[in-house]
Amino acid sequence: MTAETVPFIEGSGPYWPDACAASGRDCPAPFSGDDLVRMQRRWADTPVVCRCHPHPARVGAVLRDPDTYLATECDRRLAGELARIAPHSRQALDDSDTFTTRVIRHALADGITQFLDLGSGHIATSAAHAAVVEHPEATIVHVDHDPHVDSHNLCDLTDDPVLMTRPRTLIHANAFAIGPMLASLHRSGALDRSRRLCVLLVDLLYYLDPEHDPRSVIRRLVKRLPPGSWVAVNHLTNQAPSTLDNPSARAAFRRDTDRWCKAMTRCVPPHPHASRHNEFARRIADLDLLPPGITTTGTWPAPDTTRLPQAPYTLAAVGRVPDRSERKPRETTGDRS
Ligand SMILES: C[S@@+](CC[C@H](N)C(=O)[O-])C[C@H]1O[C@@H](n2cnc3c(N)ncnc32)[C@H](O)[C@@H]1O
């Protein structure tokens, strides 16, 4: 953070949508919850981003590297506030990166060489990008709906002569529009849907608006991907693991997570929503989970043994798409695909 960065004061604004230079309905960003829900359903509907507010990918870039060229002043102010509320914020990003890197390594060992990175963020700081680039036999498609992320990524790729020779694709679109996304990527040749692939949903699913059927994203992937494909997913949680039996420590963990989420509402939408363990389990119920089932980003593929979780804390799991012929009938909850 630069010396002249003025800190945000927790509890005092601006939170979204206040303090926007183009205030109220004139702001180009998705304004109301309804706009966002509609936008998250459509493949080509991407947000027009308002530069008056921080953005999660750029805030993550500051937490990873305080000198990053990617961030604006308000991104730096929010990164500082998050670090004060939750000193573990930087470690949480490292844990997500560890998860991504391990998943890619295990998927390659299982014979999967196609990766689909949803909500990819900046490839300059992406663990998925770094892990795949070391494997000439692997291809990766990065999908992100943010126009600034997309334009930075395009520059980073075209500036690098080695990357230019590697099959990889940047897509600027809505990653929650699963059906149109997979059809479009298959049509364009970016993905081969006759071969297994590994879908990475790292630090993305908890940006799905709560108005959506929470199970629908994974269900729609499972319906359309070749059996044996992998889906790796994590989710912010505000529920401490049962290993933490001290009630006041459990309440403090929940409070810190809620404060972290509140601070993130300084960003342009979508905003993060924490879930409980059983809600996350329901969201991924259509997958056949690899051992150890639900764990955390820092520990996968080992079980989570954390005694004192620190916010922001994410549950993680990797599952296989079951073979359709073997699939048991499942209850339906209004799949909108
Ligand atoms: C917290 S960043 C995570 C970046 C990356 N996955 C990682 O692990 O570092 C979330 C990213 O998801 C993108 N995003 C959020 N909603 C999206 C959507 N519906 N479609 C595509 N990208 C989305 C944001 O623009 C942002 O870059």
Question: Average per-residue pLDDT in the chain?
Answer: 88
Nearest residue CA, atom 25 of ligand 1? 146
Q: Note down the domain range covering 187.
A: 89-323
Q: What percent of the chain has pLDDT over 90?
A: 65
Q: Is residue 150 part of a domain?
A: yes
Question: Comparing 213 with 302, which gets the higher pLDDT?
Answer: 302
Nearest to 261 by CA among 274, 252, 249: 274
Q: Is residue 124 part of a domain?
A: yes
Q: Give me the DSSP letters along 228-295.
A: T-EEEEEEEE-S--TT---HHHHHHHHHHHHHHHHHHTTSSSP----B-HHHHHHHTTTSEEPTT-SE
Cβ of 143 closer than 6 Å to ligand 1, yes or no, is yes
| Residue 47 in this model has a pLDDT that exceeds 60 | yes
| Residue 333 in this model has a pLDDT that exceeds 50 | no
Based on its alpha-carbon atoms, the radius of gyration of the chain, rounded to whole angstroms, reads 19
Q: What percent of the chain has pLDDT over 70?
A: 88
- Give the Å distance between the CA of 161 and the centre of ligand 1: 26
Nearest residue CA, atom 6 of ligand 1? 120
The CATH number of the domain holding residue 280 is 3.40.50.150
pLDDT tens digits, one per residue of 75-91: 999 999 999 999 999 99
Nearest residue CA, atom 2 of ligand 1? 57
Cβ of 60 closer than 6 Å to ligand 1, yes or no, is yes
- Give the Å distance between the CA of 144 and the centre of ligand 1: 6
Q: Lowest mean pLDDT: which of 4-8, 122-126, 173-177, 222-226?
A: 4-8
How many domains are there within the chain?
Answer: 1
The gap between the terminal CA atoms of the chain, to the nearest Å, is 43
Q: How far is Cα 332 from Cα 329, in angstroms, rounded to an integer?
A: 9
Q: How far is Cα 128 from Cα 134, in angstroms, rounded to an integer?
A: 10
Tokens of 50: 């308002």
Q: Is residue 171 part of a domain?
A: yes
pLDDT tens digits, one per residue of 177-209: 999 999 999 999 999 989 999 999 999 999 998
Q: Is residue 276 part of a domain?
A: yes
Q: Is residue 186 part of a domain?
A: yes
Q: Is residue 37 part of a domain?
A: no
Q: Is residue 225 part of a domain?
A: yes
- Give the Å distance between the CA of 173 and the centre of ligand 1: 11
Note the pLDDT of residue 142: 95
Most confident of 18-22, 221-225, 329-333: 221-225
Most confident of 133-137, 156-160, 290-294, 305-309: 290-294
Containing 234, the helix (H) or strand (E) segment is strand 230-237
Q: Is residue 15 part of a domain?
A: no
- Nearest atom of ligand 1 to the alpha carbon of 200: 6
Note the pLDDT of residue 337: 31
Note the pLDDT of residue 326: 64
